[in-house]
Each structure stands twice: as C-alpha cells, then as structure tokens.
Amino acid sequence: MSVKIRLARAGAKKRPFYYIVAADSRSPRDGRFIERLGYYNPMAERDSAERVVMNEERVRAWLGTGAQPTDRVYRFLAEAGLVAKRTYAEQPKKATPKAKAQERLKEAEEARKAAEKAAEDAKSEAEA
C-alpha cells in the first residue's frame, strides 16, 4: 500500500478548507484516510499562523515510513523546514527568430528610422 500525504477538501461552497491527511493513494480525495495530520485554510491571510497548521512529529513519522507528499503539501513541508526545497530547472529561453525573420525585422527598423529622420527634416524645414 502506497501512502500519500495530501489535501482532503472540506468546507462550504466557495469557502474551501483542506485537511492534511495521510491516505492510501487509491482512496478518493475526500474519502477514507489513515490519519489527519493538520489543516490548510486558503482563506486566511498569507502571513497568518492559522493558514497552515500541522503536527510536525506525525508528519516526520509518516515521511520516515515512506509516505510521499503531493506537490502542494511538499511546498508546505518545505516552508516548515521538514524537507529540502526543490530546485527546478531554469525556464527555457524563448526561441530567437530565424534568419529571414531577423532580416525583415532589421529592414523594418531601418525603414522606421528613415521615416523618423524624414519627419524631423520636414519639421526643421517648416520651422526655418
């Protein structure tokens, strides 16, 4: 049996409240769980102590037995200092345009500069 530490939704419609639970990975999200480890209240202020509350001793025990936290719960555990923060690969850089597109962009830029220069020359002649 693989155990997950995950969120189980509770609360009313449009007022979510989540319990942090240890559950069999095959059981439904809001269904049967093995142990309740804490809660997460997304409606609370971000810096509030009541936003995420968990029994750290029990969480450590479940992690020690091989329970796998979900991504969201992993983030909570990392903030609490129970697990190491994950480092993600750098975001891929946006692809640069191909040669023909770069030439077109360069030509358009040159045409824009020439038009500005012509407008400045016409303006200076009109003033003189």
Give pLDDT, residue 100: 92
Give pLDDT, residue 125: 82
Give pLDDT, residue 121: 86
Cβ atoms within 10 Å of 30's Cβ, excluding its own: 14
Burial of residue 93 (CB within 10 Å: 0-12, 13-18, 19+) is exposed
Summary mean pLDDT of the chain: 90
Q: Token pair of 26, please? A: 């095959």
Q: Which residues of the chain have pLDDT under 50?
A: none
Give pLDDT, residue 104: 93
Instruction: Please give the model's pTM, rounded to 2 decimal places.
Output: 0.66
Give pLDDT, residue 128: 66
- Count of all residues that appear for the chain in the document: 128
| CA-to-CA separations, 72 to 52, 104, 114, in angstroms, rounded | 12, 46, 55
Give pLDDT, residue 59: 93
